[in-house]
Structure 1
Amino acid sequence: MIAALASADAVIWIAILVKTLAYAATLIAAGSVLVLLWLRELTADARAALRRAAVLGAIAAALLSALRLPVRASFLMGGALDGAVDPMMLGIVAESPLGASLIVRLVGLALILSVLLPWRTARWLAAAGAILACASFAMRGHALGDPRLLLGALVTVHIAGLAFWIGSFAPLSRAARRETPEKAGALAHEFGTKALWVVALLVAAGILTLVLLGAATPDALFSPYGQAFLLKLALFAGVLALAALNKLRLTPDLFKAMPGAAQRMRRSIAVESVLVAAILATTAALTTLTSPPSEQAMGALPQMKAVQTAVFLS
């Protein structure tokens, strides 16, 4: 994949950047809602901050996701800027799986905005929006393979778990900075306990997805797709190591009001955020430049240019 990146043109780099930012904004919006609903130790101020994050993330995600349409249209016109505004090319992209995914995501993001409403049922509308936003990732790319329904469900579960994890960064860091050691420690403890289930779902869904995509064999791991996956795995291992440190050492230190415990917790969360951002960027590059071995075996993507075209139309 490194060779493909080195030879990529400006449109490919723009596509990867926009895709990465769209991923991040969507997961922040959905994750903020999931954290708001699942963590009970949040203070009133933390809940208000999460609502703002959900709304701002949803707006940013909608704009960035919509921007992917003209970027792909430009690619299909050989990187010409005219392609970004060409009605015919925009129509082709809009009718592709990307267009269907965008519609579902926009509906989900719109429902997330209901988190600001005072109605008691608004939270469940926002929750439905978060799940729809996560499910939109299962309507394109690798999730369109067989068995499609199972792959779609696995991708949705995987994205929802990652969204919850990302959504927790801000409230945990905020609590370490502003709340008493007892309150910050209680929130970190609750997250750590529930994160165990999230990690189990992430790992199980990820492994099963790899098996279904034919990417769990030794040969596949040495392919460009496999190399990118191994990089993601290494980054995720770093996230898990920091999460274990937070749960086993930093959270007890917060409860005990140990000197510097809050600062260490915030630094750990900041490093986790950087690692997750790297995972999202790697995923964006992976889905833009390579395909799973199962797709390569069918001969659907025999050359690099064909790979890029197929992914851009997905």
Structure 2
Amino acid sequence: MIDLRMVQIVWESPLGTAASSRPWSDPRAPVLVRGTVAGAATLVGATLVAVAFTEVGHSLGDNRAFLAALLTLHILTGAFWVGSFYPLFEVAGEPEGHRILYRFGQVAMGTVAILALAGLGFAWIAVGTITGLTQTAYGVTLLAKIVFVAMLLGLAALNKLFFVPALRTGEPGAARLLKRSIAFEAALVLVIFVATATLTSVTTPPMNLD
């Protein structure tokens, strides 16, 4: 921290590029301003935050532009989904909450499809072979992440197909079951975050072992 030469090396690396871009792309900045301009500024800020993640990690390998695009899409769609948990949890207990939940389910279908395709595309390029998926630490950790994501998708489908319709028809206990399902989704996301941190910080993808 006090060696200026080392500090300069860090700032001139991809890590320095990512760190210096994030303060300018903080999407919380326009939170006190309302309207179209604030919404656009927030979207641009969130996109720049996602792009900053492409400056470090495994997206710096071959096919960098394609990997960066996939990672940006993956982060943005994941943030949209995860960021919806708390407001959906709150609105589940509202009298007309089923309308918002139904509309979210329609939007989320496309969002989740993009999330999954971008993640799988990035994973395929990073791993490349079945052997790399089953016989490397990166591949095994990725498989574990995929299992938890599949469980998350299962809960999301359960919400859309059963709990939200039950809430709309006023079935007893529907709001409680929906809130419990959303809470389980949030818990699974924490586990997925741990797996993702392991993939990016501890293990190395087979494409970088050649």
2:39 matched to 1:123?
yes
* 1:267 alignment partner in structure 2: 180
1:215-294 equivalences under 5 Å are 215-222=127-134, 223-294=136-207
Report deviation, 1:279: 0.7
1:40-88 Cα deviation digits (max 9, x unpaired):
xxxxxxxxxxxxxxxxxxxxxxxxxxxxxxxxxxxxxxxxxxxx55444
Correspondence 1:50-199 to 2 at 5 A: 84-109=1-26, 111-118=27-34, 120-177=36-93, 179-180=94-95, 183-199=96-112
Q: Is the 8 A contact 2:92 2:178 kept in 1?
A: yes
Aligned residue for 2:204, secondary structure, equals coil
The share of aligned pairs that are identical, in percent, is 40
8 Å contact from structure 1 (residues 112, 125) kept in 2: no
Aligned length: 209
Aligned partner of 1:303 in structure 2 is none
Tell me how far apart the structure 2 counterparts of residues 87 and 216 of structure 1 sit (CA, whole Å): 40
Deviation at residue 119 of structure 1 after TM alignment: 5.1
Any residues of structure 2 matched to 1:41-52 within 5 Å, and which?
none
Instruction: Deviation per CA, 1:246-271: give whole Å up to 9, x if none.
Output: 00000001101211111111111111
CA contact (8 A) 1:142 1:292 kept: yes
Residue 140 of structure 1 aligns with an amino acid whose one-letter code is: V
Q: Give the 3 Å change call, closer, same or farther, for CA 164–118 of structure 1 in structure 2.
A: closer
Shift in CA distance, 131/219, structure 1 to aligned 2, threshold 3 Å: same
Residues 105-142 of structure 1 deviation map (CA, whole Å, 9 limit, x = unaligned): 22111x53113214541211111001111111111111
Q: Distance between the aligned counterparts of 1:195 and 1:285, measured in 2?
A: 27
Q: Alpha carbons of 1:187 and 1:85: their partners in 2 closer, same or farther (altered >3 Å)?
A: farther
CA distance in 2 between counterparts of 1:104 and 1:184 reads 38
Counterpart CA distance in 1 for 2:7 and 2:197 is 21
Question: Contact conserved, 1:108 with 1:130, CA < 8 A, in 2?
Answer: yes
Q: For residues 100 and 187 of structure 1, do their structure 2 counterparts lie closer, same or farther at Cα, with a shift above 3 Å needed?
A: same
TM-score with structure 1 length normalisation? Answer: 0.64
Conserved? CA contact 2:18–2:55, under 8 Å = yes
Instruction: List 4+ stretches of structure 1 deviating above 6 A.
Output: none
| CA drift at 1:211 | 2.5
Distance 2:177 2:3 in 1: 51
Classify 1:114/1:291 alpha carbon distance in 2 versus 1 (closer, same or farther; 3 Å): same
Instruction: Give the residue type in structure 2 aligned to 1:101.
Output: A
RMSD: 1.5
Q: Is the 8 A contact 1:112 1:127 kept in 2?
A: no
- Tell me how far apart the structure 1 counterparts of residues 179 and 23 of structure 2 sit (CA, whole Å): 33
2:89 touches 2:179 (CA, 8 Å); kept in 1? Answer: yes
Give distance in 1, aligned partners of 2:132 and 2:69. Answer: 23
Q: Distance in 2 between matches of 1:285 and 1:196?
A: 28
Q: Distance in 2 between matches of 1:119 and 1:254?
A: 31
Q: Which runs of 5+ in 2 are unaligned?
A: none
